[in-house]
Structure 1
Amino acid sequence: MRVLTWSALVLALTAGSVITGPAHAQAYDPRYPVCMKVYEGGRFGGGEWIDCSYTSLPQCRATASGRSAMCDLNPFYAPPSPPPRRVHRRHH
């Protein structure tokens, strides 16, 4: 009876992942401060994706114009670190 219970549990868990499909990781490019989320619909589902390759909101909005898309700030943007401060030495 235990084997039957465990088999049913494994089958239920496996069937659940087949129905919902695999999860997709979303890749945000931390090198760019702006991302465009593109929506594509249609009879067969289409999809959506995120394109983080824009340096400004106006640049992204110009590309998104006329499309089913929106622009937003990249939550994973890592701005470049400032250059190290130079130490000026005085000669006496």
Structure 2
Amino acid sequence: MRILALAILTIATASTAPSARAQTYDPAYPVCLQIYQGWNDYYFECAYTSLAQCNMSASGRAAQCMVNPYYAGHKTAPPGQRYRRHRRVH
């Protein structure tokens, strides 16, 4: 009987817990805007190419700009391999 009561209590506790929202960072942009909606409720909007651009969007809002920790950077070829050509030997 105790096991059944414990199982019901565990299931009830797990089902009433709020689900966690996934925070996503877009690795294509170097700056994110963290927007606050409540005391502990906020989300990230990563769509800015500079801090100045982000600060203009954050002006007058409960928000702050931050550097994107997952920014992938520009995709460039390593030095010396950009214009490398192969010669065919006949």
TM tier, shorter chain? 0.7 to 0.9
Show the counterpart of 2:14: 17
Q: Distance in 2 between matches of 1:80 and 1:21?
A: 38
Q: Which residue of 1 aligns with 2:76?
A: 82
Aligned sequence identity (%):
41
| TM superposition score normalised by structure 2 | 0.74
Partner Cα separation in structure 2 for residue 74 and residue 14 of structure 1 = 38
Aligned length: 83
- Aligned counterpart, 2:63: 69
Query: How far apart in 2 are the matches of 1:62 and 1:35?
Result: 12
The answer to whether the aligner puts 1:33 opposite 2:36 as a matched pair is no
4+ long deviations beyond 4 Å: none
Deviations 1:33-92 (A, max 9, x none): 111110113xxx793211001111111011001100011011111112213421378xxx
Distance 1:30 1:12 in 2: 41
Q: Structure 1 length normalisation: TM-score?
A: 0.73
The unaligned stretches of length 5 or more in structure 1 are: none
Matches within 5 A, 1:42-53: 47-53=41-47
RMSD (Å), alpha carbons: 2.4
Counterpart amino acid of 2:17? T
